[in-house]
Chain A
Amino acid sequence: MFFAGLDIGSTITKIVIKTEDEIWTSVIRPTGAEHRRLAHKLMEEALQKANLTFGQLDYIIATGYGRINVPFADRQVTEISCHMRGINWFFPGVKTIIDIGGQDCKGIKVNNGKLVNFVMNDKCAAGTGRFLEVISEALGVKVEEIGDISLRSTNPAKISSLCTVFAEQEALLRLSEGVSIEDILAGIHRGIATRIYSMVERINIEKEVALTGGGVKNVGLRKALEERIGFPAVVPPEPLITGALGAALFAQEYVGRIDKKELETRKKERRLEAVTFFGEGPTRGQNG
């Protein structure tokens, strides 16, 4: 059997197709302003890569910020539960998950594979991928490189504000004062790490900790976070796909709960069509 998880994030869309035991294939592409509508095309790409037909997928779960109104998904589950499940598959001993996504940042507590508590940042870009993008643009370096650059710092700059707009101004001010880009970036990463730490600490950071989401690809942020937490954290081989993997794992679990006949009917009803937006009609894949 094949189970698919589709994670439509604010910045990146991910698809994982898995069998009962292993990840069969995964696809990672930018979401973009209009590309959420093209999630079905991405599913076609994943199917092609996996050498499967749409009809071969037994159950599909959508997650992430764009999970609602996906006509080809059987159900939607929040990314909070999906990250938890995905990480739990990689690291069953993890009790705290820190997910640094494109537009939000989450702390998730796990106990025996069950979601017990969570916390999310609130209407603020600090501690998100978007913040890193803004800062790298301001400093004229690529976002993929800022982590490595920050590691070369010997004297991290003090950045007092973590409001995205003001931090950008402050970074430019430091630059004009002659502070090196390495030190500015190291200061920025420290500041974000402190902010993420204090948010997640509200639900009590317990060992073992896993870091996930696109933000963790930044080695500078990862190092700053581990320093702040006080011990090393585990990171999955591809931190971008834990949500989609978790969705595929939930798909596998839900298939076990429904009978074969219903499954076949569901598969026939599914349409590999464009995702619609709120109030645009089809609402398949809603909870319940």
Chain B
Amino acid sequence: MTGEKKNKGLARAAEIYQSRDKRARELKADGKKVFGYFCCYPPVELMTALDILPFRIMGDMDEPITVADAYLPTIMCIFYRSCFDIAKKGRYDFFDGFIGAHACDGAERVSHIWRYYIKSPCSFFLDIPHTSHSAAIDFFKVQLNYFKETLEEFMGKKTSPERLKEAVSLHNRQRALVRDLYDLRKSDPPLITGSETLQVLISLMCVPVEEGNTILEEVIEEVKERKELPEKKACRLLIWGSLIDNTAFTDLIESSGLNVVIEDTAIGTRPFWHDVELTEDPMDGLALHYLKEFRCPRTFRETGPSYREDLESRFGYLKEFVKDWNVNGAYLNIIRNCDIHGYEVPAVRDYLEGLGLPVLVIEQDYSTAALEPLRTRFQAFAESIG
């Protein structure tokens, strides 16, 4: 095992990004249990506390969907269709457990179908309310306790509040390191590209939190010392949307005259931007964090008394991103048929344009084969800024 871990920092992240399941399979061979989970809502802290490796389920933009269409309608989210497609083809056959989640309707439907057709020794569906008022948080806490009990039963051991707090601290450390990494993108040019950042973030979602933290520490040190900087470009881009999980996409954007400096996405700032509060009962902190602090349009937020105040309360955090990362253009990335992000586009666009930013919206097909026609759009957008 030690012989395998020669690469450090960015090279190690790139290696994990390329073969995402390699480390998980190695650990499994050593007796570790690996659980696949949907989206960023199932608390990874609970899995870490029970010595389970949480493994984020992603799709594959390089793999044409050929099997999933027999099980899922083609008018739903292509990302989740792809997740299911590659799972049916055996890509995730090493999971000891599957954690479905009601993150969005696509994830919810696929969760049930997944449990039916892809058998894992353990499976759990996490019910997540779509509002964040106190009754919803109470309900969610109950769900999280069910989740914990399911894991405990499967592992044949109990976790303790102390062990859970340790896991929370480890993951909070990861969140703080990711925020430190994002700080290195504030300069112009950013010290690290969008594609490199994506590789690092994805690698974190495929290895134990301690290993991820080591990678982050190494990457931060490496990037700070770096002599050859990314090319300076006219546009400093904020990406908003569900997610991008393939560097072919960020490479396309960054070769079209745009530097990606921050991503408000589910493989971007969202899982890392707030720490979980260390409450007396750690489950309280987890429930609050995932339902209230977590910023994703899948959770409805209380509206303000006017449209403007409403926008401010829902998207005010984007103003900070724009200011601190010196953003001068925004790209709203919609994976085709993603309802929750699609419905939000007019409001987010309005808010960002109100901040003086040009906004590019693309509904894309989650396929590397369909990327090249988007080049003209990104280039024209860069030209309109530069």
Contacts and interface: CB of A to CB of B under 8 A. Distances in A.
- Chain B facing A: main interface SS: helix
Nearest to A81: B383
Interface string B224-266: 0000000101000000000000000000000011000000000
B303 interface: no
Given A80-B376, A81-B384, A115-B383, A288 B358 contact: no
A5 to B, nearest CB: 15
A77 B363 contact: no
A199 to B, nearest CB: 13
A120 B377 contact: yes
Given A78-B379, A80-B376, A115 B384 contact: yes
A81 B376 CA distance: 10
Interface string A100-131: 00000000000000111110101100000000
Contact of A79 (B256, B373, B376): B376
B380 interface: yes
B384 A287 contact: no
Given A287-B256, A287-B257, A288-B257, A114 B384 contact: yes
Contacts of B370: 123
Interface in B105-136: none
A117 to B, nearest CB: 8
A116 B383 CA distance: 10
Interface in B327-386: 358, 363, 365, 370, 372-373, 376-377, 379-380, 382-384
Contacts, number: 38
Report which residue of A114, A115, A116, A123 has the largest number of chain B beta carbons within 10 angstroms of its beta carbon: A115
B379 A116 contact: no
B85 to A, nearest CB: 20
Contacts of A81: 380, 383-384
A118 B374 CA distance: 13
Interface residues of B, number: 17
Report which residue of B231, B358, B363, B379 has the largest number of chain A beta carbons within 10 angstroms of its beta carbon: B379
A147 to B, nearest CB: 28
Contacts of A79: 376
Interface in A71-90: 77-81
Contacts of B358: 116-117
Report which residue of A65, A278, A288 has the largest number of chain B beta carbons within 10 angstroms of its beta carbon: A288
B379 A123 contact: no
Contact of B384 (A65, A116, A122): A116
- Per CB-CB distance, the 6 closest pairs between chain A and chain B, nearest first, are A80-B380, A78-B380, A115-B384, A81-B383, A78-B379, A78-B376
24 contacts: A77-B383, A78-B376, A78-B380, A79-B376, A80-B380, A80-B383, A81-B383, A114-B384, A115-B383, A116-B384, A118-B380, A118-B384, A120-B376, A120-B377, A122-B363, A123-B365, A123-B373, A278-B372, A287-B257, A287-B379, A287-B382, A288-B231, A288-B233, A288-B257
Interface of B: 231, 233, 256-257, 358, 363, 365, 370, 372-373, 376-377, 379-380, 382-384
Given A115-B383, A116-B358, A122-B363, 15 more contacts: A65-B376, A78-B379, A79-B376, A81-B383, A81-B384, A114-B384, A115-B384, A116-B384, A117-B358, A117-B384, A120-B376, A123-B365, A287-B382, A288-B231, A288-B257
